[in-house]
Amino acid sequence: MKVLVVGNGGREHALAWKIAASPRLRQLYCLPGNPGMEELGECIPGDPEDVEAVARVAGRLKADLTVVGPEAPLVKGIAGAFASRGLRLFGPDRAGARLEGSKAWARELMARCGVPGPVHAVFADPGEAGEYLRALGGPAVVKADGLAAGKGVTVAGGPEEALAAVRAMMVERVHGEAGRRVVIEERLEGEELSVLALVDGERVRLLPSSQDHKRVADGDQGPNTGGMGAYAPAPACTADLAARIQASILEPVVAALREEGTPYRGILYAGLMLTRDGPRVLEYNVRSGDPETQVVLPLLASDFLDLAEAVLDGRLDRVDVRVRPQAAVCVVLASPGYPGGYPRGLPITGVDRAGRMPGVLVFHAGTAREEGRLVTAGGRVLGVTALGDTLEQAAERAYEAVAHVSFNGMHYRRDIARRALAGRLGR
């Protein structure tokens, strides 16, 4: 098969790495790709959000399958652009992508399906949003309705912080049209959990559970980021809980979309909070998570191309989703200043040495090559992932590999998976 991977981050590098392991692969292309993906296939310049141009490239390459990493092309309708040309694409159509493209629409659908989530309200007027927050008088979560490159959520400790978020989103328009409406939610307490599932329009098959670490600093301190690390599987997700999540959180939404004549096909991601009253949905994403993908795919023993085709053909019931009995930990190495402004072009050393360690994978997220040197080109620069027979072993290997990598101002969390290890990882 000829396969095209769309995107250039750590998630896409992990997808490309997994696809490259398939004996069915004949040629891998990446648009636009990154220096890590160059080692797996041919990188082609292009803008992933120019969906018609990407479809033309896939047609010219005679790609048998295109796998989309980021959410924006899916929300913009890349699946329709491909379908009109008779090309196969792994990812939901524009209708299904509304689950991530509009948080307000997703909440409305959840309410119709009886999917558990936080108490919430949707506002198009900043004055009304402010009145609601003042009446609430406590912690709240403020979300831009549309896509905001992972930066449209403020977890506020009180009304003033929440009001400032509303002003930034709705008045100052720091996220553009994405903040024209906001969703204000109660702030849930508990343990966060990420659950990714394959969906073929009717059936739902779970992948290994994982837990992301959103805050920039150890102990879940500091501002939210795109994710500073992850581990899988999450011990909190027992077999009983996984079955409950599938039955009460994933399958109702998949059934509703099918009944509306817009069957969902691709990966569906549920970001959950495990509260005292059970799991509650924080958000749905219509693609695999980042950095969750970097720990979930290394645990997947099945051929990704087999699974992707089963999704597209509506036959998930006829393939096995096989999982390795191991654990994986990913530590994200970030640029100085991230998640705020950061410099680019800082030389990176030690990546090859880290990647040669047994059980270690280094996924490129924000890197580039300048005059033959590997340099930083983003906020999240690398995802250092390690496998182990136990979670503790995986974490130890990941941090041993991290010690080999260096660039000026590099920072990372030193407590990835620590809560799951109940303090047994002494770092």
CA separation, residue 341 to residues 334, 338, 378 (Å): 12, 6, 10
Quote the tokens at residue 332. 């994200």
In the prediction, which pLDDT does 223 show? 87
> What pLDDT digit, counting tens, does each position of 55-89 carry?
999 999 999 999 999 999 999 999 999 999 999 99
Evaluate if residue 175 carries a pLDDT over 70: yes
Domain 125-180 in CATH 3.30.1490? The answer is: yes
pTM across the whole model: 0.95
381-403 pLDDT, tens digit per residue, is 999 999 999 999 999 999 999 99
pLDDT at 426 over 50: no
Domain ranges in the chain are 2-93, 125-180, 191-318, 327-402
- What does CATH list as the number for 327-402? 3.90.600.10
Angstrom distance (rounded) from CA 205 to CA 314: 12
CATH topology of domain 2-93: Rossmann fold (3.40.50)
Query: Dihedral of CA 237/243/244/250: which sign?
Result: positive
What class is the 191-318 domain? Answer: alpha beta
Beta strands across the sheet bearing 229-232? 211-212, 229-232, 327-334, 380-388, 360-364
